[in-house]
Amino acid sequence: MEMIKGKVVVVTGGGGLIGQSFVEAIVKNGGIAIAADLNLEAIEKIKNLYSNKKNKVDAVVMDITKKDSVINAINYIHERYGKIDALVNNAYPRNKNYGKHFFEVEYEDFCENVGLNLGGYFVTSQQFAEYFRDGKEGNIINISSIYGVMTPRFEIYNGTKMTMPVEYAAIKSGLIHLTKYMAQYFKADKIRVNAISPGGILDNQPQSFLNEYKKYCAVKGMLDPSDIVGALIFLLSDQSKYINGQNIIVDDGFSL
């Protein structure tokens, strides 16, 4: 069933772990996926993976923190495809010091990481919304997190070098409210804005952490990227055309 047939969808961070699953799902459901990424290697990988589907997958260099870069990407996509139907804010920019424990985080790093991620989502949404206003409608989907809606369960990190970064909590919770803000602000422009908040995604975490995490879930525990594409396709499709300003949690019950 091609739920988003013919829709041109831009996925920031399209060359990453989750982004690649989004690109694949968009194509499978009849859409045209544009992977926007700053990583040239990731972009080339996307192009090679889908070399037999040149009219279904494209990739463009885009820095979500740079206004000119976003505008250039929009112009390229519009010139090539004649329209853009949706933006998926999925990129995850951060500096080399990201991921430290609370008392190890420096003020400069906190500000930089919040600015890169939350600020980048703002700049990208701003410029795409400007484009969507000219086209009379649009669709923005922000990828947040369960840790944007709940406090961290720090105990599941015991015995590992991992933690739940304080910047992440600030970014993802801020992103959910930014989603609601933009949904309200863009109402008259027929641009709807929603968020998806996934639970933890499998990415070579220690087994001890996976075991502790699963204790709070219903069935699976940590999810595969493919487990959240159903929510994405739904929000991209006309089946959700009256859903606006909402946050869909996909976490196997972890946040309950």
Alpha-carbon span 181 to 71, nearest angstrom: 22
Alpha-carbon span 129 to 111, nearest angstrom: 25
Alpha-carbon span 245 to 194, nearest angstrom: 5
Tokens (6 digits) for 46? 């996307």
Which of 28, 163, 19, 41 minimizes the C-alpha distance to 87?
19
Alpha-carbon span 20 to 22, nearest angstrom: 5
147 classed as catalytic: no
Sheet with 191-198, side-by-side order of all strands: 57-61, 32-37, 8-12, 86-89, 138-143, 191-198, 247-250
Q: Which of 168, 181, 185, 242 is catalytic?
A: 168
Tokens (6 digits) for 142? 């922000």
Burial 64-81 (b: 16+ CB within 10 A, else e): bbeeebbeebbebbeeee
Please check whether residue 7 is in contact with residue 236, taking contact to mean a CB–CB distance below 8 angstroms: yes
Catalytic residues: 168
